[in-house]
Amino acid sequence: MKTRFKNFFSTKYGILTAGSIIGLIAVMLVRFGNPANMGICVACFLRDSVGALGFHRAAPVQYMRPELAGLILGSMLAAFLAKELKPRGGSAPLVRFFLGFFAMIGALAFLGCPWRVIIRIAGGDLNGLVGLAGLVTGIFVGVLFLKSGYSLGRTRAQTRAAGLIMPILSVVLLVFVIFKISPSENAPLFFSSGGPGSKHAAIAVSLLAGTIVGIVAQRSRFCTIGSFRDIFVIRDFHLFFGIAAMFVVILVYNIFTGNFNLGFESQPVAHSFHIWNFLGMGLSGIAFALAGGCPGRQFIMSGEGDNDSVIFIIGMGAGAAFAHNFQTAASGAGPGKFTAPAVITGIVVCIIIGTVFSRSKTRGV
Amino acid sequence: MENKIDARGLSCPQPVILVQKALKDGALSLEIIVDNDVSKENVIRFAEGKYSMKTSVAQDGNDILLKITK
């Protein structure tokens, strides 16, 4: 029975089901209180969580999002049941840190991770299309490197304990948010009183939703970056069916509930500076492709015990803190003061990483 | 022509790209070792779906040996 279940989510119907479930959960989370067109956005949620811990002080975006703990724990559970819990790591950690760092710089110039790109377009936000164009372009650049031999080197198996670090950390942070742990007033945890950070579903709902997505995504390997990458590399549309199903479910829901607003202007948590929407997601696309997956997928792999993904996530967290502390993050009003230099620096760094690790033939090591 | 690829420790899509290169170079059969189920599924889906090859799977501890033949 278990093997049949295992096979199901890796089939065409399986990935379609997975995408549909993730789409359904995204719209349900908005219904239960999450920000509009942001049912489940991994980059946004990580940024909010980093803010809740006080690593940045942007008041509207501070909340410890239980969905992230759910993603990790759900993935760990599914991987454990399928005997896929494989602690591993050691593939160019510092490079992955900076890929994560700049992936977040790009995501916050656009305002969303690739999952939110889909969610925004399905809500009628045409800025999302500009972001998607950037994302696909970025992934294409990443694929060029992959095809010319890009590799960060092999991972190695690690002890079982190493694979438990991220799940344990997520439980600790869950305890923090449940008991609102704080040493004194005006100290973390911070909770936004206005803005996107103030909008959230109840903790139990968020945790459950995240856990279901974690399980489904672990079994199906659902990944937005992989979707486009596989089309470019091997003309394979398998993963793409997943994001297509997610898109259709959200679109249908939005149309039937009157939440579909087509246009560029007045979209929730979005801006219409096309160049930065394009280049922001373009930067993210390259960084995610070079790191092997979208932020959602990185969280899923971290639950399976992949410590390279953990390093990438920590890099994204640092990127989020930097982005708000140094005003490289955009807001609904437009790009921040330093969005332009940060995004351009990121693109240059990613291209250097891609070039260097294509030439060094790490593959054979 | 016999080809062997060691793709242990490599994450997707690298194992698939290595298989793609070998098949494009004219390999009629090849063996590839991977160490995770994602790579296994992807290599099988690719070889069977795009090249109509037959695949067989053998597990050896943490290693998964995939044989790909016409």
pLDDT per residue as tens digits for the range A225-275: 999 999 999 899 999 999 999 999 999 999 999 999 999 999 999 999 999
Q: Which of A349, A351, A309, A321 is nearest to A102 (CA)?
A: A349
Alpha helices in chain A (DSSP H): 2-8, 12-31, 42-52, 66-81, 93-110, 114-122, 127-147, 160-163, 165-178, 203-220, 224-234, 238-256, 274-291, 295-303, 307-325, 339-359
Which residues lie below 8 Å from residue A153, measured CB to CB, with a gap of 6+?
A91, A92, A362, A363, A365, B9
Q: Do A156 and B9 touch (CB under 8 A)?
A: yes
Q: What is the mean pLDDT of chain A?
A: 94
Query: pLDDT digit string (tens) for A303-322?
Result: 999 999 999 999 999 999 99
What would the CATH number be for the domain defined by B2-69?
A: 3.30.110.40
Cα of B51 to nearest chain A Cα, Å? 11
Q: Do B35 and A156 touch (CB under 8 A)?
A: no
Partners of residue B37 in chain A, C-beta under 8 Å = 82, 84
Using CA atoms, how far apart are residues A26 and A247, in angstroms rounded to an integer? 10
The answer, yes or no, to whether ipTM is higher than 0.95 is no
Using CA atoms, how far apart are residues B55 and A73, in angstroms rounded to an integer? 33
What residues pair up with A30 in beta bridges, in sequence order?
none
Query: pLDDT digit string (tens) for A21-54?
Result: 999 999 999 999 999 999 999 999 999 999 999 9
